[in-house]
Amino acid sequence: MRTSAWPLALLYAGLILYASLYPFTGWRVQGVQPWSWLSAPWPQYWTAFDLYANFLGYVPLGFLLALGAWRLGWPRVAWGLGVGLPLLLSAGVESAQTYLLVRVPSNVDFALNTFGGAIGTLLAWLLQRSGLLEHWGRWREAWFAPGAHGSLVLLAIWPLALLYPLAVPFGLGQAWDHLAQALADWWWDTPFIAWLPEPGQPADPLSPLTEAFCVTLGLLAPLLMVYGDMRGWWRRLVFAGVFLAAAWGVAGLSGALTYGPVHAWSWATDPVVAGLAGAGLAAALCAPLTRRLCHALMLLSLGVLLALLNRAPEVPYFAQSIEIWEQGRFIRFHGLSQWLGWLWPYAAILFGLRAVARPPGGDGARA
């Protein structure tokens, strides 16, 4: 028996490590003990955002750890995992920050992190005592197939990947330019440099119709991924409506972070709206399909999408927008979100290949 809470907790712990140790440069011994922050005075410089972030940032971790323990029938260790692991993670992070010039370890941060993990564990306990976890389990069994595990984890990661500014809305996986630049740096002064395309070659921009098609595929791929693990066509239609509305909202949040709240919907051009409508129509047409066929069509959608995106240039003002976004309050998360945007389609392809090759039946999993 498995639960989606465990991989989500692991991924969230990775997010905490990234945000806490970014930018990963300037490591040096500063002449203090790694645990000196325990007896340090109140930080001289702090903001309300730092206090909220340190507290709220650890609430989901404690919640997921305790939730996973209760879902697997381990009530005796739920509190130890939900409180103890965030405490140890926070202590390790604060100690590591003593070797970073740009970070300031703090016992206040440690206390807020630990308190956040405890509150998350308390929330999971309240859900368990109220019976909501049992209701969730019955709802999940009615809506999803027993093997629905990887698709739910990937679905939970997908909105985070959308937060990084995208040249084409919902177009994850546009990484060829960055990969080619990295290969050029590695292969410089080697015969392999001739294998790469000439730098600076202009690429034809996407036509409005092609952009709309890419938006449709970008939304359809995660839809089909979850379709492959859902029961009943009418449940798929309900999910499609909720998913498309949530995707639109997440893209609006990304637009607000990138361009400011006033221009939160500046990306919603006519091709993007047409792409959303196309995704809704395709979702309705695919609702009656078999699970295996849904996963196969997801692979096809991702293959075509990646081929189109990685042959297209970035829009002219895109680099400037990213620079503004990276200099803002969310600078600690921009790199992680960008990596998620690059890697999510390829992780979904691996999941889809495994799902298509899997014999009927499969193993059980609980979320």
The pLDDT tens digits along the chain (367 residues) read 467 788 888 888 888 887 788 777 777 777 777 788 777 776 666 677 677 778 888 999 999 999 888 877 787 888 898 999 999 999 999 898 888 877 778 888 899 999 999 999 999 888 888 877 777 777 777 888 877 778 888 998 899 888 887 888 999 988 777 677 777 777 777 877 777 766 555 567 788 999 999 999 999 999 999 999 998 899 999 999 999 999 999 998 888 777 677 777 888 899 999 999 999 999 999 999 999 999 999 999 999 999 999 887 665 445 555 555 444 444 445 567 778 888 899 999 999 999 888 776 544 434 4
Q: Would you say 337 and 163 are in contact if contact means Cβ atoms under 8 Å apart? A: yes
**Residue pointed to by tokens 């709309």:** 212
Position 330: which residue type? F
Long-range contact pairs involving 347-350 (C-beta distance under 8 Å, separation at least 24): 347/154, 348/154, 348/221, 348/222, 348/225, 348/298, 348/302, 349/299, 349/302, 349/303
Residue 295: in which H helix or E strand, if any? helix 291-309
pLDDT of residue 175: 79
Question: pTM above 0.75?
Answer: no
End-to-end CA distance of the chain: 10
User: Distance (Å, rounded) from C-alpha 19 to C-alpha 231?
Assistant: 38
Give residue limits of the domains in the chain.
5-130, 150-357
> In the structure encoding, which two tokens stand for residue 198, read together?
């000439």
Q: Is the dihedral of CA 273, 275, 278, 282 positive or negative?
A: negative
Q: What dihedral angle (degrees, nearest 10) is formed by the CA atoms of 298, 300, 303, 308?
A: -110
With residues binned 3-state (H G I as helix, E B as strand, rest as coil), the percentages for the chain, rounded to 5, are 70, 0, 30
